[in-house]
Amino acid sequence: MKQVHFVSLLVLLCGCSSQPIHSSYDPLTQARIRIYKGPLVHISGVETDSKYYYSASAPSLPNRTIGMPVPKNADHDLLSSLAGNFGYVPYREYFVPANKELAIVSKSVGSNTSSIGNVVIQGEPLLLCRQTEIRFIPQAGKDYDFTVVPIPFKGPECNLRLREFVNEGGELTAVSIPYTPINSGMQVSIPTTPINAGMHLTASAMRGNIVHHSFGFNTITDSPSVEVLDYQYGDGTHFETGAERERVALGQVFVRGGVSGVMPRGDTLYVKWRDKHSHHIYQDRVALRNRMPRDISDLTVYFLIKGPQLYVYLIYPELKKDSEPDGPVITYRHQKQVQIYPDLPK
């Protein structure tokens, strides 16, 4: 039944509600990105529909397609939700310049209508997700997707998910990757109202340690000599902060991973890896609580591995000074980096 259901979602994703864009694609100088749910979006250097947005009451507007593939692990819950609201899966696809920093500014709004008798009054659009800006460097010939996901009981705070399409075992898979949030100011306080049914708060959340930040790793650029077998940031209950248990049980490796958004601050980081040359397997668990500053708003917790040694860094959103050398984390080589594990020699 799941397979049939997903096929129907793919029909809605790729079917009649689309407007193909005929344009040449240069995989040597460009990348491609799919924006789900069509929030108000501006992509630096790219002509987008700045006034284009979807709401549950809006008519079915044609998707903008440039021929991007659909990964095998397309988000079933997301696609089901969108298809249920709109009758199809709304998205926009764009060509973007590769190998240079790309900024995505997004904001989600919804319809605000009321009625008096037979008169329908259209009010100002409701703010579903406040305006946020993220930055990352798309690689030539790569495909990405970007999603804005509202957080239950936290509106208008939202989680942002950026994924890269990779080929794993002959199958196209979308893998979450970290990005740099810019001046988001998205730290969230815990509500004082009673917890509603279905609302899950971890112990970390109850202590008020929910903050907008990022977590990630990339073995291709920063740890090419190892294979990550398992990992968990914090308690691992938040979206994309831990390895998928099914893949761990199958012995699959994790090339990269990451998530950005409003989430619990992690007190620990666990990583298990295999050295490609010696085939030795290592693991390490790091206590992060006293290694990170009290406020980690908009910072990225990032790890890399060299042989038997795990390294953990905090990546700051601001660029480093031109006079300073590039940091050891290649993915963020132009940004300020602070090693928090292991301890630096004094």
Per-residue confidence band for 308, with pLDDT thresholds at 50, 70 and 90: very high
Q: Is the pLDDT higher at 77 or at 43?
A: 43
Helix (H) and strand (E) counts for the chain? 5, 21
What average pLDDT score do residues 83-103 get?
A: 75
Q: Is 129 exposed, middle or buried (0-12, 13-18, 19+ CB in 10 A)?
A: buried
In the predicted structure, residue 283 carries a pLDDT above the cut 90: yes
Q: Is the pLDDT higher at 77 or at 336?
A: 336
Per-residue confidence band for 8, with pLDDT thresholds at 50, 70 and 90: very low
| Residue from 122, 8, 9, 117 nearest 55 by CA | 122
E strand or H helix at 305, and its extent? Answer: strand 300-306
pLDDT confidence of residue 259 = 80
pLDDT confidence of residue 279 = 95
What average pLDDT score do residues 96-120 get?
A: 67
What average pLDDT score do residues 103-110 get?
A: 70
Query: Which residues share a beta bridge with 94?
Result: 33
Q: Read off the pLDDT of residues 135-176 as tens digits, 9 standing for 90 and up.
A: 888 999 999 998 876 665 555 567 778 889 998 778 888 888
| Residue from 144, 301, 328 nearest 222 by CA | 328
Q: Is the pLDDT higher at 173 or at 42?
A: 173
pTM for the complete prediction?
0.52
Per-residue confidence band for 214, with pLDDT thresholds at 50, 70 and 90: confident
Q: Is the pLDDT higher at 91 or at 59?
A: 91
In the predicted structure, residue 315 carries a pLDDT above the cut 80: yes
In the predicted structure, residue 310 carries a pLDDT above the cut 90: yes
In the predicted structure, residue 103 carries a pLDDT above the cut 50: yes
Work out the number of other CB atoms within 10 angstroms of the CB of residue 76: 12
Query: Which residues share a beta bridge with 304?
Result: 311
State the DSSP string of 176-240.
E---EEES-----PPP-SPPPTT----HHHHTT-EEEEEEEEEHHHH-TTEEEEEEEETTS-STT
